[in-house]
A = this chain, B = another copy of it.
Amino acid sequence: MSKTQPARGMRDFLPADIRKRNYVINIIREVYESYGFEPLETPAVENLETLTGKYGEEGNQLMFKILKRGEKLDLANGEKGLSDLALRYDLTVPLARVVANYRHELPKFFKRYQIQPVWRADRPARGRYREFYQCDVDAIGSTSMIVEAELISAVCEIFQRLGFEDFVVKLNHRKLLSAILDVCSIPKEEQLNFLVILDKMDKIGEQGVVNELNAFGFTKSYLKYLDLIVEIDKHSLEIAKQNDKNKSWIDKLETINKLVLDKFTTFVGENNEGKKSLNELRNIRNLLISDIAKSTVLIKPSLARGLSYYTGAIMEVNVPDFAGSLAGGGRYDGLIGMFGKESIPACGLSIGLERILVVMEERGMFDKLIAEGKLKADSADVLVTVWSGETIGESLKLANELRRSGLRVLVYPEADKMGKQFKYADSIGVKTAIIMRDEEIAASQVKVKNLQTGDEETFSREEIASKIKA
């Protein structure tokens, strides 16, 4: 007997899993489409040369490479002789390839979303898989802050529609951070290392960050920025706690964000990059129109996001009971042009589908959706039983009628004891069974059995669909 588990770090999705995943994916898709983002799909397999060198040493280690076939396989020639293709590692490099390849067909502003799996040969751990979905949304071709504002509005709407009531969208600006580090006399070439550590503030606290920065050998000049962060956090907390009936949460958040921007302004002084970045942040703030965006977007001085390619605003969606972010992104004006000669402006967000599913499951949000009837938990609305070999045709006929009225209908595949048929319905979560004995068929009637209560009721053939729907 062979092993029947899925490959290491990969998952089978049984029907109940798929229904939950599709529920989340459909909301993401609907919201993005309402903002004019269009679907894109690229192949799971890319030429190795397309991916090579794009993800650093780690990426080279974790990439799944595909063995050359037939005569092309050349064991004597090292890695080059072994592999010519690799599995998709993220959705950004394929997007860059698509933008380069179809540049004459794509619109000058290309807004696309892409929801597809990627593969990484990482060590599997809780919540970390070797095949997992990414859900990217990017707007290509414009440097306007309208792009940032719309991306943030859309992501807020998604989390709201998914049923999250306590998420925060943290906002900062990579070039503002760069200006601040200039002011602190941190050399440009060490700033990314600094930001990677700063980004851990929420996880390891101020003292943890100071320890790591010291261990890394940074001079103490950065301390005045950490002091500012702590001061801002303290003030923000005070404002948030104010017990003023005339001030809504949106008003308070407005006050906090204004405070942060003011402190930043003083800090960067005449630094040009700093002033420009602050203007962009103000601009984004002003363009957030919806209440849900106004009440969730918080300018956060410690948000840095570790990746090197960001060139402007950065953002992240967080909830209190999950350590990482549920979505993150920002402006990255240098990356999308990697396969061409020109630099192409771009701004995007990646939504952590797998993480969202984990949090929603842990919070019982799916159970709530099922209880509210917003998410189906059963494979059918009704089971049509089969009374005898002679009545099979009548059962199939009724099933077809019910399907035509929009119901999902299972027919028990054999004439069998009624008890067995009910038990089967029960085992798959179907709550209603239909019985058609010879006498019901003769009278153009059907008997409906509620499998939870055991109650039975008889209806005419005409009214049955509407009765079951109710």
Contact = CB atoms under 8 A, between A and B. Distances in A.
A159 to B, nearest CB: 16
A413 B403 CA distance: 45
A61 interface: yes
A17 B102 CA distance: 14
A287 B49 CA distance: 56
B34 A131 contact: no
B142 A43 contact: no
Interface stretch (A146-154, A243-251, A301-309): A146-154
Contacts of A15: 38-40, 112
Given A12-B41, A33-B408, A290-B400, A139 B413 contact: yes
**Chain A binding surface, main DSSP class:** mixed
A125 interface: no
A319 interface: no
Nearest 5 CB-CB pairs, A to B? A36-B410, A15-B38, A10-B43, A4-B101, A142-B413
Interface string A356-399: 00000000000000000000000110000010000011001100
Interface string A1-41: 11111110011111101110010000000000111111111
A15 B107 CA distance: 11
Residue among A82, A386, A400, A427 having the largest count of chain B Cβ atoms under 10 Å: A400
Contact of A85 (B7, B61, B380): B7
A406 B153 CA distance: 16
B4 A107 contact: no
A309 B97 CA distance: 42
8 contacts: A1-B339, A4-B98, A14-B40, A14-B98, A45-B130, A65-B67, A82-B82, A153-B400
A397 B1 CA distance: 62
A147 B409 contact: no
A344 B105 CA distance: 50
A382 to B, nearest CB: 9
Contacts of A47: 3, 7
A239 interface: no
A203 interface: no
A241 interface: no
Contact of A414 (B82, B146, B411, B428): B146
